[in-house]
Amino acid sequence: MKIKIKNLELEIPILNASGPRCTTEKELLDLEDSLSGAVVSKSCTLEMREGNKGKRYWDCETLSINSMGLPNLGFEFYGEMSKKVKKPYIISVGGLSLEDNVTILNHFLTLEKKVGIELNLSCPNIIGKGQLAYDFDCLEEYLTEIFERVDISKFLAFGIKLPPYFELTHYVGVYMKISKFPIDFITCINSVGNGLVIDYEREKPVIEPKNGIGGLGGSIIKPVGLSNVYNFKKLFPKIDIIGCGGIETGKDVFEYFLAGASAVQIGTQFHKEGTGCFKRIYEEFLEIMKSKNYKSLSDIKIIP
């Protein structure tokens, strides 16, 4: 079940999503020892961040909501971790400005071990900041600056993480902007932004930052994730799409491949279950492949 995204070779097409359990050295090395196909870091900023204050994560059977605010240990830490991670290593980059991201990316080009990059253009939980990827003109200008000032070709693979889109015209709008750039993969989706979950007994939101407003995850968002993967794959047949959103079982993984994904990432279920989820979900996926007499990922045909 190996796949290759540019020069990023994955033995298993199931990865962790940047977000839960990938911030500290211990968490990253736990992923190193798991059955995930790569180690994906927390989105890093120029400086270390504690993130938003107060209770900032909550989940139940079908959904999660968070307003973490990009807590991370700073980009230099995640660069240094490349010396300890033996698996393919994808560093998620989420600088708070264009200049920050140019600095961070150019630094990662100097690392002895080559890494993959996932540029996070879709965090909905930074107080006072909107999502860049919803402003198509700004998105194009931003990527133009990145590609002019950073030798992106030197990374093992370079991708962008996008928020969910909900109108068919949005996919075309994004395509018109990002098709101009040699992007190797697109990860979709990040959490569904600006949700609100209320505890009716306490008569308060279940999380505290941003008056309880946060990003939604879990199985409730899987149909949105599948739709984004499917629509972007139709527009970008030659770009690898990494599906993310609501994956809990091997069946969910198989459905993402039917929608056009080359690989998948797991967030909420990984947060709930820990690294053991990768082995369980991969084995469930292999059972489905066996039941259909499929020998490789290429046997899975994308739905029309």
Q: H-type helices in the chain, by residue range?
A: 25-32, 75-80, 98-108, 136-149, 168-178, 222-235, 250-259, 268-273, 276-291
123, 188, 244, 277: which one is catalytic? Answer: 123
How many C-beta atoms lie closer than 10 Å to residue 184's C-beta? 20
Phi, psi values for residue 171, rounded to 5°: -60, -45
22 is catalytic: no
Provide the pairing of β-strand 204-205 with 198-199.
antiparallel
* DSSP sequence for 131-199: -GGGSHHHHHHHHHHHHHHS-GGGSSEEEEE-----SHHHHHHHHHHHTTS---EEEE---EEEEE-EE
Q: Give the span between the Cα atoms of 244 and 226, in whole angstroms.
A: 8
**Left, alpha or beta for 135 (phi > 0: left; psi -120 to 50: alpha)?**
beta
Give the residue numbers annotated as catalytic, written as ranges: 123
